[in-house]
Protein backbone atom coordinates (compact mmCIF):
# COMPACT_ATOMS: atom_id res chain seq x y z
CA UNK A 1 0.00 0.00 0.00
CA UNK A 2 1.43 3.35 -0.99
CA UNK A 3 0.88 6.02 1.65
CA UNK A 4 -0.69 9.07 0.04
CA UNK A 5 1.16 12.38 0.01
CA UNK A 6 -0.13 15.96 -0.11
CA UNK A 7 2.81 18.22 -0.92
CA UNK A 8 2.59 22.01 -1.00
CA UNK A 9 4.97 24.01 -3.17
CA UNK A 10 4.95 27.61 -1.99
CA UNK A 11 7.30 28.66 -4.83
CA UNK A 12 8.52 32.28 -4.36
CA UNK A 13 5.69 33.13 -1.96
CA UNK A 14 5.71 33.72 1.76
CA UNK A 15 7.19 36.15 4.28
CA UNK A 16 7.37 35.58 8.02
CA UNK A 17 3.60 35.85 8.37
CA UNK A 18 3.15 32.72 6.25
CA UNK A 19 4.53 30.57 9.07
CA UNK A 20 1.17 30.90 10.82
CA UNK A 21 -0.58 29.27 7.82
CA UNK A 22 1.61 26.20 8.27
CA UNK A 23 1.06 25.96 12.01
CA UNK A 24 -2.70 26.36 11.44
CA UNK A 25 -2.52 23.43 9.03
CA UNK A 26 -0.57 21.38 11.58
CA UNK A 27 -3.14 22.16 14.27
CA UNK A 28 -5.95 21.05 11.94
CA UNK A 29 -4.22 17.72 11.18
CA UNK A 30 -2.55 16.42 14.35
CA UNK A 31 -2.69 12.76 13.23
CA UNK A 32 -3.28 12.59 9.46
CA UNK A 33 -3.78 9.29 7.66
CA UNK A 34 -1.55 10.56 4.86
CA UNK A 35 1.85 12.28 4.59
CA UNK A 36 1.81 16.09 4.44
CA UNK A 37 4.74 18.14 3.18
CA UNK A 38 5.30 21.87 2.78
CA UNK A 39 8.11 23.21 0.59
CA UNK A 40 8.50 26.90 1.48
CA UNK A 41 11.00 29.34 -0.03
CA UNK A 42 14.52 28.71 1.31
CA UNK A 43 14.36 31.82 3.48
CA UNK A 44 11.59 30.25 5.60
CA UNK A 45 12.84 26.67 5.67
CA UNK A 46 14.67 26.73 8.96
CA UNK A 47 12.00 28.66 10.82
CA UNK A 48 9.23 26.53 9.36
CA UNK A 49 11.03 23.33 10.36
CA UNK A 50 11.27 24.73 13.89
CA UNK A 51 7.64 25.80 13.98
CA UNK A 52 6.47 22.37 12.76
CA UNK A 53 8.78 20.31 14.96
CA UNK A 54 6.73 17.62 16.70
CA UNK A 55 3.85 18.03 14.20
CA UNK A 56 2.86 15.58 11.48
CA UNK A 57 3.96 17.95 8.71
CA UNK A 58 7.33 17.57 7.00
CA UNK A 59 9.22 20.35 5.25
CA UNK A 60 11.23 20.34 2.04
CA UNK A 61 13.22 22.48 -0.37
CA UNK A 62 12.29 23.50 -3.91
CA UNK A 63 15.67 22.90 -5.57
CA UNK A 64 19.29 22.16 -4.69
CA UNK A 65 22.66 22.54 -6.38
CA UNK A 66 24.40 19.34 -7.45
CA UNK A 67 27.72 20.28 -5.76
CA UNK A 68 28.40 19.83 -2.03
CA UNK A 69 29.72 23.37 -1.59
CA UNK A 70 31.70 26.02 -3.43
CA UNK A 71 31.60 29.14 -5.56
CA UNK A 72 27.95 29.07 -6.65
CA UNK A 73 26.50 32.42 -5.67
CA UNK A 74 22.85 32.27 -4.76
CA UNK A 75 22.62 28.48 -4.82
CA UNK A 76 21.84 26.09 -1.98
CA UNK A 77 23.33 22.62 -1.53
CA UNK A 78 21.41 19.52 -0.55
CA UNK A 79 23.34 19.37 2.72
CA UNK A 80 22.24 22.95 3.50
CA UNK A 81 18.60 21.97 2.96
CA UNK A 82 19.00 18.98 5.27
CA UNK A 83 20.83 21.13 7.82
CA UNK A 84 17.93 23.62 7.76
CA UNK A 85 15.47 20.85 8.58
CA UNK A 86 14.32 19.63 5.17
CA UNK A 87 13.61 15.96 4.63
CA UNK A 88 12.57 16.30 0.99
CA UNK A 89 13.33 18.36 -2.08
CA UNK A 90 11.37 19.08 -5.25
CA UNK A 91 13.62 18.72 -8.31
CA UNK A 92 13.13 19.45 -11.98
CA UNK A 93 9.99 21.56 -11.53
CA UNK A 94 8.91 22.93 -14.92
CA UNK A 95 9.53 26.48 -13.67
CA UNK A 96 13.15 25.52 -12.90
CA UNK A 97 13.45 23.83 -16.28
CA UNK A 98 12.01 26.91 -18.06
CA UNK A 99 13.42 29.78 -15.98
CA UNK A 100 16.85 28.31 -15.26
CA UNK A 101 17.36 26.04 -18.26
CA UNK A 102 17.63 22.90 -16.12
CA UNK A 103 18.06 19.84 -18.32
CA UNK A 104 17.28 16.23 -17.46
CA UNK A 105 20.99 15.73 -16.82
CA UNK A 106 21.01 18.70 -14.41
CA UNK A 107 18.02 17.25 -12.59
CA UNK A 108 19.65 13.81 -12.39
CA UNK A 109 22.81 15.23 -10.79
CA UNK A 110 20.67 17.14 -8.27
CA UNK A 111 18.77 13.97 -7.42
CA UNK A 112 22.06 12.19 -6.76
CA UNK A 113 23.25 15.02 -4.51
CA UNK A 114 19.99 15.04 -2.57
CA UNK A 115 19.94 11.28 -2.06
CA UNK A 116 23.56 11.36 -0.90
CA UNK A 117 22.62 13.50 2.10
CA UNK A 118 19.49 11.51 2.92
CA UNK A 119 16.81 13.69 1.35
CA UNK A 120 13.78 12.20 -0.40
CA UNK A 121 13.15 13.65 -3.83
CA UNK A 122 10.07 14.63 -5.82
CA UNK A 123 11.07 14.59 -9.49
CA UNK A 124 8.72 16.64 -11.67
CA UNK A 125 7.71 15.72 -15.20
CA UNK A 126 5.12 17.05 -17.60
CA UNK A 127 4.47 18.14 -21.15
CA UNK A 128 3.73 21.60 -22.53
CA UNK A 129 0.42 22.39 -24.20
CA UNK A 130 2.04 22.26 -27.63
CA UNK A 131 3.55 18.86 -26.86
CA UNK A 132 0.15 17.50 -25.77
CA UNK A 133 -1.50 18.90 -28.90
CA UNK A 134 1.17 17.19 -30.97
CA UNK A 135 0.49 13.84 -29.28
CA UNK A 136 3.91 13.80 -27.65
CA UNK A 137 2.90 13.61 -23.99
CA UNK A 138 4.11 10.09 -23.25
CA UNK A 139 7.29 10.55 -25.26
CA UNK A 140 8.13 13.74 -23.34
CA UNK A 141 7.35 12.27 -19.93
CA UNK A 142 9.20 9.06 -20.81
CA UNK A 143 12.31 10.98 -21.81
CA UNK A 144 12.16 13.08 -18.63
CA UNK A 145 11.90 9.95 -16.50
CA UNK A 146 14.77 8.26 -18.30
CA UNK A 147 16.98 11.34 -18.13
CA UNK A 148 16.13 12.84 -14.74
CA UNK A 149 15.89 9.75 -12.54
CA UNK A 150 19.21 8.05 -11.74
CA UNK A 151 19.66 4.33 -11.18
CA UNK A 152 19.39 2.83 -7.74
CA UNK A 153 16.31 4.71 -6.56
CA UNK A 154 13.95 3.14 -4.05
CA UNK A 155 10.27 3.62 -3.23
CA UNK A 156 11.35 5.35 -0.04
CA UNK A 157 13.59 7.90 -1.73
CA UNK A 158 11.72 8.68 -4.95
CA UNK A 159 8.38 10.35 -5.65
CA UNK A 160 7.40 11.28 -9.22
CA UNK A 161 5.13 14.25 -9.89
CA UNK A 162 3.20 14.47 -13.16
CA UNK A 163 2.56 18.16 -13.72
CA UNK A 164 1.39 19.12 -17.21
CA UNK A 165 2.90 22.56 -17.79
CA UNK A 166 -0.34 23.81 -19.35
CA UNK A 167 -2.22 22.98 -16.13
CA UNK A 168 0.09 24.76 -13.69
CA UNK A 169 -1.50 27.91 -12.33
CA UNK A 170 -4.01 28.09 -15.20
CA UNK A 171 -7.15 26.52 -13.75
CA UNK A 172 -7.06 24.00 -16.59
CA UNK A 173 -7.00 20.40 -15.44
CA UNK A 174 -6.63 17.26 -17.57
CA UNK A 175 -9.57 14.86 -17.67
CA UNK A 176 -9.46 11.85 -15.33
CA UNK A 177 -8.74 9.67 -18.36
CA UNK A 178 -5.81 11.85 -19.39
CA UNK A 179 -4.38 11.74 -15.86
CA UNK A 180 -4.92 7.98 -15.66
CA UNK A 181 -3.15 7.48 -18.98
CA UNK A 182 -0.02 9.32 -17.92
CA UNK A 183 0.10 7.96 -14.36
CA UNK A 184 -0.33 4.40 -15.68
CA UNK A 185 2.50 5.03 -18.12
CA UNK A 186 4.77 6.36 -15.34
CA UNK A 187 3.92 3.33 -13.19
CA UNK A 188 4.86 0.96 -16.01
CA UNK A 189 8.12 2.81 -16.64
CA UNK A 190 9.02 2.64 -12.94
CA UNK A 191 8.30 -1.10 -12.84
CA UNK A 192 10.33 -1.69 -15.99
CA UNK A 193 13.23 0.31 -14.59
CA UNK A 194 13.27 -0.70 -10.92
CA UNK A 195 11.35 -3.99 -10.79
CA UNK A 196 7.84 -4.87 -9.68
CA UNK A 197 8.14 -4.21 -5.94
CA UNK A 198 9.95 -0.88 -6.14
CA UNK A 199 7.97 0.28 -9.18
CA UNK A 200 4.68 -0.45 -7.43
CA UNK A 201 5.89 1.34 -4.30
CA UNK A 202 6.97 4.63 -5.89
CA UNK A 203 4.38 7.33 -5.31
CA UNK A 204 3.10 9.33 -8.28
CA UNK A 205 1.61 12.73 -7.54
CA UNK A 206 -0.58 14.79 -9.84
CA UNK A 207 0.12 18.54 -9.94
CA UNK A 208 -1.50 21.42 -11.81
CA UNK A 209 -4.41 23.58 -10.59
CA UNK A 210 -5.49 21.18 -7.83
CA UNK A 211 -8.12 22.91 -5.69
CA UNK A 212 -10.58 21.90 -2.97
CA UNK A 213 -13.24 21.73 -5.72
CA UNK A 214 -11.50 19.25 -8.02
CA UNK A 215 -9.32 17.31 -5.55
CA UNK A 216 -11.72 14.40 -4.89
CA UNK A 217 -12.22 13.82 -8.62
CA UNK A 218 -8.46 13.73 -9.20
CA UNK A 219 -7.76 11.51 -6.17
CA UNK A 220 -10.26 8.93 -7.47
CA UNK A 221 -8.02 8.29 -10.50
CA UNK A 222 -5.96 5.07 -10.51
CA UNK A 223 -2.28 5.50 -9.67
CA UNK A 224 -2.76 9.00 -8.26
CA UNK A 225 -1.01 8.79 -4.90
CA UNK A 226 -1.53 12.40 -3.93
CA UNK A 227 -0.88 15.88 -5.20
CA UNK A 228 1.79 18.52 -5.59
CA UNK A 229 -0.12 21.72 -4.94
CA UNK A 230 1.01 25.25 -5.72
CA UNK A 231 -1.45 28.13 -5.26
CA UNK A 232 -3.96 26.22 -3.12
CA UNK A 233 -1.23 25.25 -0.62
CA UNK A 234 -0.59 28.85 0.42
CA UNK A 235 -3.65 29.08 2.66
CA UNK A 236 -4.20 26.57 5.45
CA UNK A 237 -7.93 26.49 4.75
CA UNK A 238 -7.64 25.43 1.10
CA UNK A 239 -4.71 23.06 1.62
CA UNK A 240 -6.54 21.50 4.55
CA UNK A 241 -9.56 20.77 2.31
CA UNK A 242 -7.25 19.05 -0.17
CA UNK A 243 -5.65 17.05 2.65
CA UNK A 244 -9.11 15.94 3.78
CA UNK A 245 -10.08 14.94 0.24
CA UNK A 246 -6.92 12.83 0.00
CA UNK A 247 -7.58 11.21 3.38
CA UNK A 248 -11.11 10.40 2.22
CA UNK A 249 -9.69 8.59 -0.81
CA UNK A 250 -7.67 6.16 1.32
C1 LIG B 1 3.06 23.54 -9.20
O2 LIG B 1 3.62 24.43 -9.82
O3 LIG B 1 3.73 22.64 -8.65
C4 LIG B 1 1.62 23.57 -9.12
C5 LIG B 1 1.01 22.43 -9.07
O6 LIG B 1 1.01 24.80 -9.14
P7 LIG B 1 -0.57 25.12 -9.08
O8 LIG B 1 -1.19 24.15 -8.09
O9 LIG B 1 -0.68 26.52 -8.62
O10 LIG B 1 -1.08 24.88 -10.45
Residue 197: CATH number of its domain: 3.20.20.70
Q: What pLDDT, in 10s, does the model give residues 5-58? A: 999 999 999 999 999 999 999 999 999 999 999 999 999 999 999 999 999 999
Q: What is the pLDDT confidence band of residue 224, given thresholds at 50, 70 and 90?
A: very high
Ligand 1: which residue has its CA nearest to atom 4?
Answer: 230
Q: How far is the CA of 219 from the centre of ligand 1 (A)?
A: 16
Is the beta carbon of 92 within 6 A of some atom in ligand 1?
no
* Predicted pLDDT of residue 1: 83
Report how many domains make up the chain: 1
- Helix H segments across 117-235? 129-133, 137-148, 176-194, 196-201, 215-219
Ligand 1: residue whose CA is nearest its atom 3: 230
Give the global pTM: 0.98
Q: Is 64 in contact with 102 (CB distance < 8 Å)?
A: no
Cα separation, 91 vs 221, in Å, equals 24
Phi-psi region of 235 (alpha: psi -120 to 50; beta: other; left: phi over 0): beta
Residue 210 near ligand 1, beta carbon < 6 Å: yes
* Residues annotated as catalytic (active site), given as ranges: 93, 163
In Å, how far are 79, 149, 223 from 73, measured between CA atoms? Answer: 16, 26, 40
Ligand 1: atom nearest CA of 95 is 2
- DSSP letter string, 227-238: EEESGGGSSHHH
Residue 207 CB less than 6 A away from ligand 1:
yes
Q: Which domain holds residue 243?
A: 5-248
Q: In the prediction, which pLDDT does 249 show?
A: 98
> pLDDT tens digits, residue range 79-126?
999 999 999 999 999 999 999 999 999 999 999 999 999 999 999 999
Q: Contact 236/209 with Cβ under 8 angstroms?
A: no
Amino acid sequence: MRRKLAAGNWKMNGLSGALAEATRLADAHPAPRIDILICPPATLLSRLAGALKGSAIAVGGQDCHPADAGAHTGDISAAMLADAGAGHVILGHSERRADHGETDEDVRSRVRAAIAVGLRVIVCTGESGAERDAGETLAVVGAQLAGSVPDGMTAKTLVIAYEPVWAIGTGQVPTPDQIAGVHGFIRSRMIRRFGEETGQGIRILYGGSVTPDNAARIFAVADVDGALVGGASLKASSFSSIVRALEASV
